[in-house]
Structure 1
Amino acid sequence: MQGGDQSARADPRERTAAAARAHEQGLAVQREERRRRGAFYTPPELVEWVLDRALAGLPAGAPVLDPACGAGHFLVAAARRVGVAAVHGSDLDAEAVAIARERLAAEDPSVPPEQIAAQVVVADGLEAWAGRRFAAVVGNPPFLGQLRRRTAGQSEGSRRGLGAYTDTSAVFLHRCLDLVGDDGVVALVQPLSVLAARDAGPVRAAVAERGAITDFWCSPRPVFDGTPVLTCVPVVRVGAGPATDPDDWGALAAPSFGIPDTHLPARSGVVGDLATCTADFRDQYYGLVPFVHDDPAGTPLVTSGLIDPAELRWGSAPTRFARQPYDAPSVDLAALRADGRLAGWADARLVPKLLVAAQGRVVEAVVDEAGAWLPSVPVLSVVPHDPADLWRLLAVTLAPPVVAHAAARYLGTGLTPGSVKVSARQLAALPLPADGTAWAEGAGLAQRAQRAAGADRTELLLETARVMTAAYRGSREVLAWWSHRGLATQLPESS
Structure 2
Amino acid sequence: MGDPFHCERLQLRDGLILRAELSSPWPQARLTAVEPSVQSELAFGIGLKHEATLTDTERKRGAHYTAPRLAHALCELTLDRWSGSGVPLICDPSCGGGAFLIGAAEALVRRGVSPTTILNGGLIGIDVDPKAIDTTRAALEAWAGAYGVAAHHVCPHLVVADALVECTDLIGGIDVVVGNPPFQSQLSERTSRSEAARVGLVARFGPAAAGYVDSASLFVLLVRQLLRPGGVATLIQPRSFLATASSGGVRDDLISGGELEAVWIPGNRLFAAAVDVCAVVFSSPQGSGQAGAARTRELRTIDVLGDLATSEVLGALPVQQLLGRPWSSVVALAAGVPQVDEPTTAPANTVARFTAGFRDEYYAIAAATLESGAPLSADRASFDPQRWARVVTTKMVDPAEIAWGSERVRFAKQDFLRPMLDLALLESQHRRVSAWVQRLLVPKVLIATQTSVIEAGVDTDGDCVPVTPVIAALPGDVDPFLLAAALMAPPATVWAYWQFGGSALSSDALKLAARQVGQVPLPQDRSAWNAAADVLRGWAKTPGDPRSWESFAVPATASWGDVDERITHWWLERLPSQRSRRRSV
Does the TM-score normalized on the shorter chain lie above 0.5?
yes
Which of 360, 363, 376 is 1:286 aligned to? Answer: 363
Q: What are the within-5 Å matches in structure 2 for residues 72-87 of structure 1?
A: 72-80=98-106, 81=108, 83-84=118-119, 85-87=121-123
Offset at residue 408 of structure 1 (A): 5.1
More helix by share: 1
Counterpart residue number, 1:332? 422
Counterpart-to-counterpart distance in 1, 2:443 and 2:254: 43
Offset at residue 404 of structure 1 (A): 2.7
8 Å Cα contact 1:350/1:374 also seen in 2 = yes
Q: What are the within-5 Å matches in structure 2 for residues 373-384 of structure 1?
A: 373-384=464-475
Counterpart residue number, 1:463? 551
Offset at residue 380 of structure 1 (A): 0.9
Counterpart residue number, 1:234? 280
Which of 331, 350, 354 is 1:253 aligned to? Answer: 331
Offset at residue 14 of structure 1 (A): 8.0
Counterpart-to-counterpart distance in 1, 2:507 and 2:88: 38
Counterpart-to-counterpart distance in 1, 2:175 and 2:217: 20
Counterpart-to-counterpart distance in 2, 1:467 and 1:248: 30
8 Å Cα contact 1:72/1:100 also seen in 2 = yes
Counterpart residue number, 2:458? 367
- Alignment partner of 2:474: what SS? strand
Look up the equivalent residue of 1:252 and give its one-letter code. V
Counterpart residue number, 2:309? none
Work out whether 1:429 is the aligned partner of 2:472: no
Look up the equivalent residue of 1:336 and give its one-letter code. L
- Alignment partner of 1:211: what SS? coil
Counterpart-to-counterpart distance in 2, 1:108 and 1:267: 67
Q: Structure 1 residues 303 and 429, CA, compared in 2 at 3 Å: closer, same or farther?
A: same
Work out whether 1:158 is the aligned partner of 2:201: yes
The superposition leaves residues 298-340 of structure 1 with CA deviations (integer Å, 9 ceiling, x where unpaired) of 4211111111111111133332322222222112223433556
Counterpart-to-counterpart distance in 2, 1:34 and 1:25: 15
Bigger drift between 156-165 and 417-426 goes to 156-165
Q: Structure 1 residues 320 and 109, CA, compared in 2 at 3 Å: closer, same or farther?
A: closer
Work out whether 1:46 is the aligned partner of 2:70: yes
Counterpart-to-counterpart distance in 1, 2:255 and 2:522: 27
The superposition leaves residues 230-254 of structure 1 with CA deviations (integer Å, 9 ceiling, x where unpaired) of 2111222454623261535233334
Counterpart residue number, 1:88? 124
Counterpart residue number, 2:270? 223
- Alignment partner of 1:55: what SS? helix
Counterpart-to-counterpart distance in 2, 1:213 and 1:108: 39
Task: Provide structure 1 residue ranges, at least 5 long, that are not aligned to the other structure.
Answer: 1-12
8 Å Cα contact 2:444/2:474 also seen in 1 = yes
The superposition leaves residues 29-69 of structure 1 with CA deviations (integer Å, 9 ceiling, x where unpaired) of 33225325422111122122212221115433233322112
Q: What are the within-5 Å matches in structure 2 for residues 75-474 of structure 1?
A: 75-80=101-106, 81=108, 83-84=118-119, 85-101=121-137, 103-104=139-140, 106=144, 116-117=156-157, 120-127=158-165, 128-129=167-168, 131-146=171-186, 147=189, 148-150=191-193, 156-159=199-202, 160-161=206-207, 162-211=209-258, 213-224=260-271, 226-238=272-284, 239=295, 241-242=299-300, 243=319, 245-246=322-323, 247-254=325-332, 257=335, 259-293=336-370, 294=372, 295=376, 296=378, 297=383, 298-339=388-429, 341=431, 342-384=433-475, 386-407=476-497, 409-455=499-545, 458-459=547-548, 461-472=549-560, 473-474=562-563
Offset at residue 198 of structure 1 (A): 2.3
Offset at residue 182 of structure 1 (A): 4.8
Task: Provide structure 2 residue ranges, at least 5 long, that are not aligned to the other structure.
Answer: 1-36, 285-294, 301-318, 581-585
Q: Structure 1 residues 123 and 14, CA, compared in 2 at 3 Å: closer, same or farther?
A: farther
Counterpart-to-counterpart distance in 2, 1:260 and 1:86: 42
Bigger drift between 108-117 and 267-276 goes to 108-117
Counterpart-to-counterpart distance in 2, 1:488 and 1:33: 33
8 Å Cα contact 2:352/2:478 also seen in 1 = no
8 Å Cα contact 2:442/2:462 also seen in 1 = yes
8 Å Cα contact 1:144/1:169 also seen in 2 = yes
Q: Structure 1 residues 23 and 339, CA, compared in 2 at 3 Å: closer, same or farther?
A: closer
Q: Structure 1 residues 469 and 108, CA, compared in 2 at 3 Å: closer, same or farther?
A: farther
Counterpart residue number, 2:22? none
Which of 548, 565, 570 is 1:481 aligned to? Answer: 570
Look up the equivalent residue of 2:99 and give its one-letter code. H
8 Å Cα contact 1:407/1:418 also seen in 2 = no
8 Å Cα contact 2:50/2:132 also seen in 1 = no
Bigger drift between 239-248 and 309-318 goes to 239-248
Counterpart-to-counterpart distance in 1, 2:239 and 2:220: 13
Q: So what's the TM-score if we normalise by structure 1?
A: 0.84
Q: Structure 1 residues 266 and 313, CA, compared in 2 at 3 Å: closer, same or farther?
A: closer
8 Å Cα contact 2:337/2:494 also seen in 1 = yes
8 Å Cα contact 1:20/1:96 also seen in 2 = no
Which of 74, 79, 88 is 1:55 aligned to? Answer: 79
Counterpart residue number, 1:30? 54
Q: Structure 1 residues 21 and 149, CA, compared in 2 at 3 Å: closer, same or farther?
A: farther
| Identical-pair percentage | 29
8 Å Cα contact 1:195/1:410 also seen in 2 = no
Offset at residue 27 of structure 1 (A): 3.7
Offset at residue 455 of structure 1 (A): 4.9
Counterpart residue number, 1:4? none
8 Å Cα contact 2:47/2:136 also seen in 1 = no
Counterpart-to-counterpart distance in 2, 1:61 and 1:166: 34
Q: Structure 1 residues 320 and 114, CA, compared in 2 at 3 Å: closer, same or farther?
A: closer
Look up the equivalent residue of 2:72 and give its one-letter code. E
Offset at residue 101 of structure 1 (A): 4.2
Offset at residue 448 of structure 1 (A): 3.3
Q: Structure 1 residues 179 and 398, CA, compared in 2 at 3 Å: closer, same or farther?
A: same
Q: Structure 1 residues 20 and 388, CA, compared in 2 at 3 Å: closer, same or farther?
A: closer
The superposition leaves residues 355-403 of structure 1 with CA deviations (integer Å, 9 ceiling, x where unpaired) of 111222321111224422211222111123x232533321122111221
8 Å Cα contact 1:64/1:135 also seen in 2 = yes
8 Å Cα contact 2:46/2:138 also seen in 1 = no
Bigger drift between 301-310 and 269-278 goes to 269-278
Counterpart residue number, 2:18? none
Counterpart-to-counterpart distance in 1, 2:99 and 2:265: 19
Counterpart-to-counterpart distance in 1, 2:43 and 2:281: 30
Look up the equivalent residue of 2:163 and give its one-letter code. G
How large is the Cα RMSD of the aligned pairs?
3.3
